[in-house]
A and B are shown apart, each in its own frame.
Chain A
Amino acid sequence: MTTSAFRLAILSGVLALWEIAARAGNPLLYVPPSAVLPSLVNLVALRSYPDLLEHVLLTAREIAVAYALAVAGGVGVGCALGGHRVLGRAYAPMLAALYAVPAVVWYPSLMLFFGLDAASKIAFGFLLGFFPITLAVLAGTRQVNPHLVTVARSFGASPLAVFAKVLLPGMLFTLVGGLRTGLALAVIGVIVGEVLGAKAGMGTLINHAYGLFRTADYVALVLVTLVLIVTSDVLASLVERRARRWTT
């Protein structure tokens, strides 16, 4: 109760400050929340951007594909590096170094490779999501007690059974954390990609509104995007909580 009361207080405080600050400034650049509300209503009622739904769906689809690829690639590469000690020792530092490079520097070359359509956004979302997942899987395979693997083998477990019944549950906690970070970054990758250059998607609409100084519409679009992101994060945290109860 107190947490939500606090949240409400902070939120209304921020909105009040925003309103006051915006009214004092240039209305073209600074929109007060009172002006955003009608824009939001127009947006959701499909009056300002009638094709909003298509853009939302496109962005959601790009995120889903980018994330699926990041999970598959991250789990695969992470397991390969974690399973082979020599391979892991050779490549893990390179991976960590690549992760430290601001990923946005790769985006121009991704656009050259994949064009302005969805593919380059998916590639960028994948690139951002792939690293934290790979590193989490790698850390996870290392934190599994090797004795448990020996025990499983003594009961005749095949390599696949060892993975499914020992490694996976043993690293679930770390893995889920990585999957959640990966999702957040894949979402960021896709939307940033759209803002930087695209023909469709939420990022494009945001860029469009912003470029035309339709500031109220711009803020309304950002709010809708925020809902999309928060929804994905809530889903991820539900999965994480389930996994947390299951392990340790």
Chain B
Amino acid sequence: MTVADAELIRIDGVAKRYRTASGVVDALGDVSLAVPEGQFCTIIGPSGCGKSTLLGMLAGLVGPDGGRVLIEGQPVTGPDPRRVATVFQDPGLFPWRTALENVEFGLELQGADRGRRRAVATELLGPLGLRGFAEKYPRELSGGMKQRVAIGRALAIDTKILLMDEPFGALDEQTRMLMGEWLLDIWRRTNKTVIFVTHSLHEALALSTRVVVMTARPGRIKSVLELPLGYPRAMESPELVTLRAKLWSEIRDESLRAMSES
């Protein structure tokens, strides 16, 4: 039982196929993965390898066709906002709510009273760098700010697990790097378990304690890279340059395969 206790997330031989107009697509084939508490686990792989599908299963939004997903030893049957919060690539802010009201959304659903909601959300806006923007509507915010509001909305319900599906994918490179630093800071202070999907080698190497490389469709786990390094990481250090080359060679083959198939 001691092993199972340390595992917060267990993915057991899950598979997923989609029926489309042009036939059946095997999105995910037999993926198994265990993630202990407190990790920053990045999933990287070529387009269409089922990364997002895997994350959707953890979020309880997508049901697997085979295998099972366990969180704290219990099978996932649907969204569980007490354990899991999700940030999507599209921030998906509610345009009729202010930044503050967006951050309050999850607590509102859980029936928290107005005073507590306000207090939690207001306190979060500081570290989010949004102190002066509480009353702004999403259309008045920049892309990076919107995504920080979305992250704030996920942090507000204070779950053990934070799922992030290419959260910085739509941002420019500088903003991305700053957001990465900022996310690290949050992660290290809150000790959450983060499952982070990305296309970016840089993000994977700068942020993760572990990188999971997936194959082209149907997505399987190709290799797992442990990164027992401190922060902040000097990306030009010989160690990281070597790791980067290794990671790239793993991903390159799969990306080539994905390109030739699509």
Which of A's residues lie within 8 Å of B, judged by CB? 145, 147-148, 150-157, 161, 165-166, 169-170, 172, 246-248
Q: How far is the CB of B155 from the nearest CB of chain A, in Å?
A: 12
Cα distance A172–B95 in the bound complex, in angstroms: 12
Question: Are B96 and A246 closer than 8 Å at their CB atoms?
Answer: yes
Rounded to whole Å, the gap between the CB of B80 and the closest CB of chain A is: 7
- Interface centre among B59, B85, B96, by most chain A C-beta atoms within 10 angstroms, is B96
Contact residues, B15-60 vs A (CB, 8 A): 59-60
The answer on a CB contact under 8 Å between B96 and A169 is: yes
Interface centre among B59, B80, B94 (most CB of A within 10 A): B94
- Are A150 and B92 also in contact (CB < 8 A) when A155-B79, A155-B81, A156-B80 are? yes
Min CB gap A150→B, angstroms:
6
**B81 in contact with A148 (CB, 8 Å):** no
**Other A-B pairs, 20, CB within 8 Å; known A153-B79, A154-B60:** A147-B90, A148-B94, A150-B88, A151-B88, A152-B105, A154-B61, A154-B79, A154-B81, A155-B79, A155-B81, A155-B105, A155-B106, A155-B157, A156-B80, A156-B81, A156-B109, A165-B108, A166-B94, A247-B96, A248-B139
Asked if B96 and A161 make an inter-chain contact with CB atoms under 8 angstroms apart, the answer reads no
Query: Which B residues lie within 8 Å of A152 (CB)?
Result: 105, 109
Is residue B86 contacting chain A, with contact meaning CB distance below 8 A?
yes
Within 8 A of A (CB), among B59-93: 59-61, 79-81, 85-86, 88, 90, 92
A153 touches B61 (CB 8 A): yes
Q: Which are the 6 A-B pairs with shortest beta-carbon distances?
A: A156-B81, A151-B92, A155-B106, A154-B86, A169-B96, A147-B92
Q: In the complex, are the beta carbons of A161 and B92 less than 8 A apart?
A: no
B2 at the A interface (CB under 8 A): no
B262 within 8 A of A: no
Q: Report the minimal beta-carbon distance from B73 to chain A, rounded to whole angstroms.
A: 20
- Interface residue? B249 (CB, 8 A): no
Number of B residues, CB within 8 Å of A: 22
B94 and A157 form a contact (CB under 8 A): no
Identity of the chain B residue whose Cβ is nearest the Cβ of A173 in the assembled complex: B96
Assembly CA distance A148 to B150 (angstroms): 12
Per the bound structure, the CA–CA distance linking A246 and B98 in Å amounts to 11
A91 to B129, CA, bound (A): 49
CB atoms of A150 and B61 under 8 A apart: yes
Is B110 an interface residue, CB under 8 A from the partner? yes
Decide: B59 and A154 in contact? CB cutoff 8 A: yes
Contact B79 A147 (CB under 8 A): no
Interface core residue of A145, A148, A150, A155 (most chain B CB under 10 Å): A155
- 0/1 interface trace, chain B 100-111, chain A, CB 8 Å (1 if under): 000001101110
Which residues 199-255 of B have a CB within 8 angstroms of A?
none
Q: Which A residues are in CB contact (< 8 Å) with B109?
A: 152, 155-157, 161, 165
**A155 vs B81: C-alpha distance when bound (angstroms):** 5
Which residues of the other chain, B, contact A150 by a CB distance below 8 angstroms?
A: 61, 88, 92
Bound-state Cα–Cα, A150 to B86, Å: 10
Q: How distant is A156 from chain B, measured CB to nearest CB, in Å?
A: 4
Q: Within the complex, what minimum Cβ distance (angstroms) separates B201 from chain A?
A: 27
Shortest CB-to-CB span from A116 to chain B, Å, is 46
For the complex, give the distance between the alpha carbons of A169 and B88 in Å. 21
Residues of chain A within 8 A (CB-CB) of B80 are 156
Residues of A within 8 A of B88 (CB): 147, 150-151
Known A154-B79, A156-B109, A161-B109; contact A148-B92, beta-carbon cutoff 8 A: yes
B34 to chain A, nearest CB (A): 23
Chain A residues within 8 Å of B139, by CB: 248
List 19 A-B pairs, Cβ < 8 Å.
A147-B90, A148-B92, A152-B109, A153-B61, A154-B59, A154-B61, A154-B85, A155-B81, A155-B105, A155-B106, A155-B153, A156-B109, A157-B109, A165-B105, A166-B94, A169-B96, A247-B95, A247-B96, A248-B96
Closest CB of chain A to B154's CB: distance in Å? 9
Cα distance A154–B153 when bound, in Å?
11
Closest to A151 in B: B92
Chain A residue at minimal CB-CB distance from B150:
A151
Contacts of A147 in B (CB 8 A): 88, 90, 92
Which B91-134 residues have C-beta < 8 A from chain A? 92, 94-96, 105-106, 108-110
Which residues of B have CB within 8 Å of A248? 95-96, 139
